[in-house]
Amino acid sequence: MSKRYAAAVCAAIGLLAGGLRAPAVAADAAAQAQACDACHGGDGLPISATIPIIWGQQSSYLYKELHDFHSGDRKSPIMAPLVHDISLDDLRTLANYFAAKAWPTSNTAPAGRVAGPSSGDATPPPAEIADKIEMCKACHQPNFTGGDPGPRLAGLSAEYLASQMHAFADGTRTNNLDMPGFMRALTVSDREAIAKYLSGL
Ligand code: HEC
Ligand code: HEC
């Protein structure tokens, strides 16, 4: 066997072994993710407006939330028991799995289902909230599509966004130090208007 041929065979075996390992890991995540699809949607579109889109969300954010549901730092009677028995390593794999998927848009939404219309365009905000949302952009990015340190907000449902903004303000969601103060500085109707605007991006 020539040296070159031997090298090619070794490379092929290496590729094959790598190729066999990779789908096995992906298959595990996909199997675990099926439990999530029941609510977050097998096509990325949640079954109800009270459930957030997780497809295409920031992976560091998804992992932090799964970690916080697991530890009890973020309370949820639905999510906490679901992730309680999943290891942190598996939660990170799930976070990466969902973050790697494409954010669903209204183009992919069947009639009657809620989805973000686009990927955060330049629609001007209503005058009464225009100044108030400027400061959010420092963390949630100018187009609200997220990045360190803030999660994506553009295209989440108005119901879900408002519920979380109120929860930070009234002290029921406590897993971030800054958000409660920012939300208390807004009136309830400001929060509702901001949620509606963000859901349309
Ligand atoms: C029975 C329905 C249901 C199932 C099944 C479910 N979720 Fe959730 N999930 C929810 C609801 C409802 C919320 C919002 C909780 C709240 O209001 O704080 C949520 C929130 C989340 C969040 C926070 C997102 C954000 O924007 O803050 C993540 C991440 C998440 N779920 C991941 C998962 C994963 C991963 C699985 C599968 C292991 C899963 N969920 C299974 C209903 C569900
Ligand atoms: C200093 C940075 C910062 C600023 C400014 C900020 N946020 Fe946040 N926001 C965050 C971080 C970080 C999180 C994730 C908190 C966590 O760990 O759960 C968050 C979470 C949220 C969530 C929950 C998203 C979800 O999927 O559950 C909403 C809604 C939100 N912010 C709205 C706003 C709005 C509206 C403003 C402006 C009025 C704003 N934020 C300003 C950093 C910021």
Cα 8 to ligand 1 centre (Å)? 47
**CATH no. for 3-199:** 1.10.760.10
Q: Is 91 in the pocket of ligand 1 (CB under 6 A)?
A: no
Cα 112 to ligand 2 centre (Å)? 28
Cα 104 to ligand 1 centre (Å)? 16
Taking only the tens place, the pLDDT of each residue in 82-106 is 999 999 999 999 999 999 999 997 6
Please return the burial class of 155, using the count of CB atoms within 10 Å of its CB with bins 0-12, 13-18 and 19+.
buried
Query: Alpha-carbon distance 154 to 117, whole Å?
Result: 9
Cα radius of gyration (the chain): 20
Low-confidence ranges of the chain (pLDDT < 70): 1-27, 106-122
Taking only the tens place, the pLDDT of each residue in 54-74 is 999 999 999 999 999 999 999
pTM: 0.87
